[in-house]
Amino acid sequence: MLLGALLVTKDWVYWKTMLVLLGKLTRALEFRRVLFCVLNEVWKFADGNHSGWVNSEMTEEILSGIGLCPMAFTDLRADVDARVTCSDASEDGGGACTSLRLSSEALSRLAAAGAPSQQGRQHMMAGRLLLGEASLWRAWESRNPRLPQTPTDKVPAVLVIGLFDGIGGMIVALSRLNTKIIGYVSSEIDPSARRVVRKRWPGLIDWGNIRDVGTEQVDKRVQLYGSVVDVVYCGAGSPCQDLSRLMFGRRGLEGKKSALFQEIPRVLLLLNEAFPGKVRSLVENVASMPLKDIQHISEELQVTPYRLCSSCLVPNRRPRLYWLSWRLLPCEGYCYQDKGHFIDVTADGAKRVELPWVKAGWIWNGGASPVPTLVCARPFALQPTRPAGIARASPEAKAR
């Protein structure tokens, strides 16, 4: 589109340049072949293998082709969506929102009207033209039952902030709860993880490296959400490589990667000062860390962690520690036991585990025991001093 806009401003165009433009337009319009009807004279120009002047007819065709490009990605047979959306393109704090349902005032007006007005019937006729026998009125009625029915004033407005956010597992979980997420901030440095999160949540605010997060970034969030947010939910899972039992000679929180934990209390302090009384935090890390590091993190956060293994829910063993700024309420099917430095959470009795991720025709051979924690496999030039799991490995694995 930009190339076409450029060519119509030129007095003299090289024929190969015109051929490039036509090739790109052909690619864009190939699934809506009827749109090709606007391109006629320009083919004569490109077919002649010569440069020349672009006349007014060619200019009109190029501009028409540019203008029709959005039609190449539009399904004209799609239903009319009953939701109303609005967005802005601010470079400092752009956003988008969508309606949930008709307002109480609109519902009362419809009830008072009893039947569609003359204007409403005209809209219904327009709807029949667009949708065949279905009207806009029917389109609204068919879609509205699927929308949330909980009054919006009963649902907490949540600002989600993910530190060491990875691929955004925290907001995936929160989006399934009865909350109204009004903003999402992600702090992550891994390029692949950031690409995944930006594609899935295109409206996020990307803080990048946590070391670069300061008062300026937090103040901007206050300006945007301070008057409307009910809860600021901050989750953080700093690197565990120097804390894990898998790392021989681990240096704990003094290690280069795991030392980044110290950024979490700093950012939490900024958030609590900016959103007094509204911040809830969840800090997570590996359960096999040394006791002195558990104590250090607990002192920094002023809370006792919960120890929970994923095997309570899925057939995979992944014990982790969770430092929550709130206390867990008693939950049926789970036992809480105070171990001094952490509270151990275990499933009460055998839990039936659903396996929706096992494809049809496949067989789960894991049995009743959970599979070990999956970790990244990295080759070593020499055998490690104390390779984790070597005692449990089969002779074939050891030989390999």
Q: What are the pLDDT digits (tens) for 297-319?
A: 999 999 999 999 988 877 788 89
| Mean pLDDT taken over the chain | 81
Question: According to the model, what pLDDT value does residue 350 have?
Answer: 53
Q: Which of helix, strand or coil describes residue 137?
A: helix
Q: How far is C-alpha 353 from the chain's CA centre?
A: 27
Q: Which strands, in side-by-side order, build the sheet including 231-236?
A: 205-206, 180-187, 157-163, 231-236, 279-286, 319-324, 306-309, 343-347, 334-338
Categorize the per-residue pLDDT at 192 as very low, low, confident or very high, splitting at 50, 70 and 90: very high
Categorize the per-residue pLDDT at 135 as very low, low, confident or very high, splitting at 50, 70 and 90: very low
228 pLDDT above the threshold of 90: no
Which of 266, 325, 268, 258 lies closest to 294 in space, CA to CA? 258
Question: According to the model, what pLDDT value does residue 387 have?
Answer: 75
- Rounded percentage of the chain residues whose pLDDT exceeds 90: 32
Surface-to-core class of residue 207, CB atoms within 10 Å of its CB (0-12 exposed, 13-18 middle, 19+ buried) = buried
146 pLDDT above the threshold of 80: no
Question: Distance between CA atoms of 10 and 1, rounded to whole angstroms?
Answer: 15
Q: Which helix (H) or strand (E) holds 109?
A: helix 104-113
Q: Which residue has the tokens 């003359």?
A: 118
Which of 90, 95, 98, 226 lies closest to 157 in space, CA to CA? 226
Question: According to the model, what pLDDT value does residue 298 have?
Answer: 92
Contact at 8 Å (CB) between 111 and 173? no
Question: According to the model, what pLDDT value does residue 357 have?
Answer: 67
Categorize the per-residue pLDDT at 355 as very low, low, confident or very high, splitting at 50, 70 and 90: low
Q: Note if the pTM is more than 0.75.
A: no
Q: What is the mean pLDDT of residues 206-222?
A: 92
> Distances from the Cα of 172 to the Cαs of 165, 166, 200, 201, 204, in angstroms?
11, 12, 10, 10, 13
Question: According to the model, what pLDDT value does residue 125 have?
Answer: 41
Q: What is the mean pLDDT of residues 351-358?
A: 62
Question: Distance between CA atoms of 271 and 283, rounded to whole angstroms?
Answer: 15
259 — alpha (psi -120 to 50), left (phi > 0) or beta?
alpha
The 10s digit of each residue's pLDDT in 109-120 is 777 776 455 445
Question: According to the model, what pLDDT value does residue 200 have?
Answer: 87
Going along 110-150, which residue ranges are E strands? none
Give the domains, in start order, of the chain with CATH numbers. 2-73 (no CATH), 119-147 (no CATH), 154-347 (3.40.50.150)
Question: According to the model, what pLDDT value does residue 359 have?
Answer: 79
